[in-house]
């Protein structure tokens, strides 16, 4: 094999990754799978696709070895193939935010009130957890909490929060978090909590970023006391 042929074949393999990610739906699927394993049907509902269409997109991601699957009865479940896949998605987001003004414009239009919700950094959240005087609230769907969450957090999905406000100590500060920087569940939760007189803030990132940083995690089995 000559030098040129080697380079052509090598970069063609790397291009498989780019081609697999060259779809808004597949990028959103990767983002969702960063929360944990999901069935095709669950992913289809989240992304607003038919089951058949979601399955096709997942097949493309699987062909590029970005996701892995397992079958349980009639259902097929997918997960990210390696933690590096989430790191790749983070890098793509960072480049997009820095280089594409349209991303900044879209975020500014749709998430224009975010700074008023006083985002809390990763270090600030860790300090609050260590001090133990803050309620850390996971407002993602309960399934995602069960699969993995910030250690010490309690689960109240955002669509249940209004009905479960009585479970919270109004004298304690609350920090809500969700799926990541473009997820609005924590924004909605903080706005609701503040409207009811609680001191509430949102974590600026999300569960996957916390996990990727190697910070303390828990699963349903190890967190029954916080539920």
- For residue 190, what are its two tokens? 């903080």
Per the residue annotation, which of 117, 136, 161, 178 is the catalytic one?
A: 178
| Residue 82 reports pLDDT greater than 80 | yes
What residues have CB less than 8 Å from 127, skipping those under 6 apart? none
| Residue 30 reports pLDDT greater than 70 | yes
Tokens 């809390």 identify what position?
Answer: 120
Dihedral sign, CA of 46, 114, 155, 83?
positive
Active-site annotation holds for 178 = yes
Please give the radius of gyration of the chain, using alpha carbons only, rounded to the nearest integer. Answer: 19
| Residue 221 reports pLDDT greater than 90 | no
CATH of 108-226, one of 3.90.180.10, 3.40.250.10, 3.30.470.20, 3.30.930.10: 3.40.250.10
CATH 1.10.10.10 maps onto the chain at: 3-85
User: Rounded distance, CA 174 to CA 176, Å?
Assistant: 6
Residue-wise pLDDT tens digits, 135-149: 999 999 999 999 999
| Residue 134 main-chain phi, psi, to 5 deg | -120, 140
Decide: helix, strand or coil at residue 13: helix
| Residue 116 reports pLDDT greater than 80 | no
- Of 95, 21, 65, nearest to 29 by C-alpha is 21
- For residue 40, what are its two tokens? 């095709």
Tokens 């803050």 identify what position?
Answer: 134
| DSSP class of 61 | H
Class of the CATH-defined domain 3-85: mainly alpha
CATH 3.40.250.10 maps onto the chain at: 108-226
User: pTM (2 decimals)?
Assistant: 0.88
Mean pLDDT across the stretch 82-110? Answer: 93
- For residue 69, what are its two tokens? 């699957």
């Amino acid at each position: 094999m000559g030098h040129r042929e080697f380079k052509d074949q090598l970069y063609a393999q790397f291009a498989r990754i780019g081609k697999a990610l060259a779809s808004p739906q597949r990028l959103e699927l990767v983002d969702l799978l960063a929360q944990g394993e999901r069935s095709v049907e669950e992913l289809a509902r989240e992304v607003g696709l038919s089951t058949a269409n979601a399955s096709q997109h997942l097949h493309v991601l699987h062909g590029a070895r970005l996701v892995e699957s397992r079958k349980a009865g009639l259902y097929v479940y997918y997960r990210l193939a390696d933690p590096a896949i989430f790191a790749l998605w983070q890098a793509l987001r960072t480049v997009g935010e820095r280089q594409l003004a349209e991303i900044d414009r879209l975020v500014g239009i749709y998430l224009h009130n975010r700074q008023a919700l006083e985002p809390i950094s990763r270090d600030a959240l860790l300090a609050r957890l260590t001090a133990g005087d803050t309620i850390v609230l996971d407002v993602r769907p309960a399934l995602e909490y069960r699969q993995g969450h910030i250690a010490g957090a309690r689960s109240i999905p955002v669509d249940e929060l209004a009905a479960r406000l009585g479970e919270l100590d109004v004298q304690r500060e609350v920090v809500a978090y969700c799926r990541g920087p473009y997820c609005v569940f924590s924004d909605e939760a903080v706005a609701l909590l503040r409207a009811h007189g609680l001191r509430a803030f949102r974590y600026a990132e999300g569960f996957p970023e916390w996990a990727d940083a190697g910070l303390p995690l828990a699963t349903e089995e190890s967190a029954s006391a916080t539920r």
